[in-house]
Amino acid sequence: MSQHQEQGFLTNLPKVVVRTIQETMRFTDSRRESFVSELREWLETASASNNPIGLNAMAVLLSDKLRQIGMIPTIFEHPSGNAVFGEIHGENPEARTVLLLGHHDTVYAQGVSAPPVRLEGDRFYGPGSIDMKACLLQAVYALEGLVEETKYRDFNKILFLSLPDEEVPTRNHLQLLERLCQEHPFVLVLEGATSPGNIVLRRKGCAQFKLTARGVSAHAGSNPGKGRSAVLEIAHQTVQFCTLNQSIEGLSINAAPIAGGVLPNVVADFAEVSFDVRFLHEQDHHAVVAQWEALMKQPLVEGVTLTLTAERKPISPMEATEASLDMAQKAQSILSWLGMEYHPEHRGGGSDGCLTSALGCPTLDGFGAVGAAAHSPNEHILLPYVPQRAGLLAGMMAFLTTREEKS
């Protein structure tokens, strides 16, 4: 983008968007101590994906916070953990609905000692801080800045959904998300950002498979020729499968774990290996499976049977569309007004934005707090950027819904 175009962004925001950003930043900056206090309570509420008691406690905290800022919250119950939904109605029935999407489960398993919650300078450390409790709380502050501080009402509906099972394969609330997507809202996913100007434009899809080999066992010393080694065939196929790595742009294949056999002196009659496949486009996934199936017809060990099965439902890629790129341009305009360098990103990991995108909803990701080291003892957010990022999110909600023309 040219320097002239970038300069144009600085004065090309509707006045209500500018006012929303300013008021939200001012409000959030003035509430730093409250933000830290509330976030500490949320981080100290252990809510691993396998901990329904903690998940439900977190759902109550989030629901109460949504109610305080004028949203109508609903807790959707499930034995494995409750989801939180909130909605608020405005005065512009022509505007498209906006959905803020996140999750309140973390990867720190129940019964496992989690890293301590601590504030060190501008860094706030804690389990689930960047992934993604700080992102949820920052979004609540953005909503409060929009509807309470700016008194913005030029929207139809703003929805908020936090799920308790994003970090695990077993999903119990996806029907709720799918139902909300029937309106085809603008979706702003609240996953964390890597820099102040970071927005996620695309995410790779993901599919996981298991390849199983069944051979014939035999004594490795007395009768090796009577055996048909499943381990040897799995090793051969694993090498063949992985030679497709990067054969298509953005395609990555990882093999793990791998297992087979029982003893060194027994020709293995069983072996298996799992594969994780990441891809930029849906058709790439199908192309890889077709190539694998062709390779399986060329076994190294005669008499070994191969079976390829999907281990979980594939996650579709979050692809850039005309509508999502238009959203990204709005985000870039806001970031330029804020004086921040725009950092669009294509990520290899999935999020629920992959699902909303596949369902036809214009989706952008990475609207959470700025931080690093997710899923590790050093997981943290950077507090100085919370006001700007809250301003960005509030500004996006106004920009996507306002009837006001650009200034």
Beta bridge partners of 347: 203
Check residue 407 and give its pLDDT.
58
Nearest to 26 by CA among 156, 187, 202, 149: 149
Walk across the sheet containing 83-89 and list its strands.
Answer: 72-76, 83-89, 157-163, 98-103, 186-189, 363-364
Kind and range of the H or E run holding 273: strand 270-279
Per-domain residue ranges of the chain: 3-203+317-401, 205-310
> Measured between alpha carbons, how far is 159 from 50 in angstroms, rounded to an integer?
26
Walk across the sheet containing 305-310 and list its strands.
Answer: 252-260, 270-279, 205-214, 305-310
What would the DSSP string read from start to end of 20-34? HHHHHHHHHHHTHHH
Q: What is the DSSP letter of 370?
A: B
Q: Per-residue pLDDT for the chain (407 aa), expressed as one digit of tens each?
A: 333 333 334 458 999 999 999 999 999 999 999 999 999 999 999 999 999 999 999 999 999 999 999 999 999 999 999 999 999 999 999 999 999 999 999 998 766 667 789 999 999 999 999 999 999 999 999 999 999 999 999 999 999 999 999 998 889 999 999 999 999 999 999 999 999 999 999 999 999 999 999 999 999 999 999 999 999 999 999 999 999 999 999 999 999 999 999 999 999 999 999 999 999 999 999 999 999 999 999 999 999 999 999 998 899 999 999 999 999 999 999 999 999 999 999 999 999 999 999 999 999 999 999 999 999 999 999 999 999 999 999 999 999 999 987 65
Residues 6+ apart with CB under 8 A from 136: 42, 62, 102, 104, 162, 190, 368
Helices 52-68 and 134-144: angle between axes, nearest 10 degrees: 20
> Can you tell me which residue has the tokens 């799995």?
234
* Same fold: 3-203+317-401 with 205-310: no
Contact 191, 131 (CB under 8 A): yes
Contact 231, 261 (CB under 8 A): yes
How many degrees, rounded to 5, is the angle at CA 169 between CA 165 and CA 175? 60
Convert the pLDDT of each residue in 318-331 to its tens digit. 999 999 999 999 99
> Can you tell me which residue has the tokens 């594969």?
275
Give the chain's count of helices (H) and strands (E).
11, 18
Question: CA 292: distance to chain centroid?
Answer: 28
Nearest to 289 by CA among 247, 241, 349, 232: 241
C-alpha atoms less than 13 angstroms from C-alpha of 47 in its C-beta half-sphere? 32
Nearest to 237 by CA among 226, 221, 253: 253
**Under CATH, which number does the domain 3-203+317-401 receive?**
3.40.630.10
Kind and range of the H or E run holding 201: strand 198-203
Q: What tokens appear for 247 in the block?
A: 């054969």
Helices (H), 243-281: none
pTM of the model: 0.90
Nearest to 140 by CA among 306, 377, 332, 367: 367
Q: Which CATH entry fits the domain spanning 205-310: 3.30.1280.10, 3.30.70.360, 3.30.950.10, 3.40.50.1000? A: 3.30.70.360
**C-beta neighbour count of 258 within 10 angstroms:** 15
